[in-house]
């Protein structure tokens, strides 16, 4: 079995859109409330992050992954990931800050730096403009290269 890219993130972080591009799917983007196994990805619904009891299911998926993407939307107000969460994965973890249209300010980036540091995502993390196809394709190419 070929290992996949595990995509984790809260609501509105771009999981479905990123999985759609990485899986090279045609047609409309579909959002689902359960774990979705795509051609190249495993996408985890946000409800698994919200419940400490469900996080163990995310952790168990690490055996099927060669890379973990931890998405964090710029406009997220509350903490999403528990401290040191990236350390539970025995594969590389890539932090991805997602946003629509407007780039983050320096003060927002400082807050995100602290949050990623708390969950043990090593900098530099990636920035993804979800409203820009070029940004999405560029990130997908970086991710594909990590998988080679």
The pLDDT of residue 148:
60
Distance CA 44, CA 35 (A): 5
Whether this prediction's pTM lies above 0.85 is answered by: yes
Instruction: Write the CB contacts of 62 (distance below 8 Å, at least 6 apart in sequence).
Output: 6, 68, 88, 89, 90, 91
> Which 3 state secondary structure label does DSSP give 122?
coil
The pLDDT of residue 2:
79
- 123 or 128: whose pLDDT is higher? 128
Confirm if 16 and 31 have CB atoms less than 8 A apart: yes
**Can you give the CATH number for the domain in which 44 is found?**
3.40.50.300
Distance CA 116, CA 130 (A): 19
Question: pLDDT tens across 29-62, in order?
Answer: 777 778 999 999 999 999 999 888 899 999 999 9
Q: Which two tokens stand for residue 32?
A: 């689902």
**pLDDT beyond 80 at 147:** no
pLDDT over 70 for what percent of the chain? 98
Q: How many domains does the chain have?
A: 1
| Domain hosting residue 44, numbered range | 4-147
How far are the Cα atoms of 2, 46, 72, 129 from residue 115, in angstroms, in the given order? 32, 18, 9, 19
């Amino acid at each position: 079995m070929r290992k996949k890219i595990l995509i984790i993130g809260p609501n509105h972080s771009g999981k479905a859109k990123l999985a759609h591009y990485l899986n090279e799917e045609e047609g409309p983007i579909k959002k689902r409330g359960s774990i979705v196994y795509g051609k190249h990805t495993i996408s985890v619904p946000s409800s698994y992050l919200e419940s400490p009891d469900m996080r163990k299911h995310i952790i168990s998926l690490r055996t099927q992954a060669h890379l973990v993407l931890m998405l964090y939307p710029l406009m997220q107000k509350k903490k999403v990931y528990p401290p040191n969460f990236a350390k539970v994965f025995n594969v590389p973890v890539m932090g991805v800050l997602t946003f629509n249209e407007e780039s983050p300010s320096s003060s927002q980036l400082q807050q995100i730096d602290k949050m990623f540091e708390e969950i043990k995502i090593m900098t530099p993390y990636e920035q993804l403009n979800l409203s820009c196809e070029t940004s999405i394709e560029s990130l997908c190419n970086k991710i594909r290269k990590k998988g080679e």
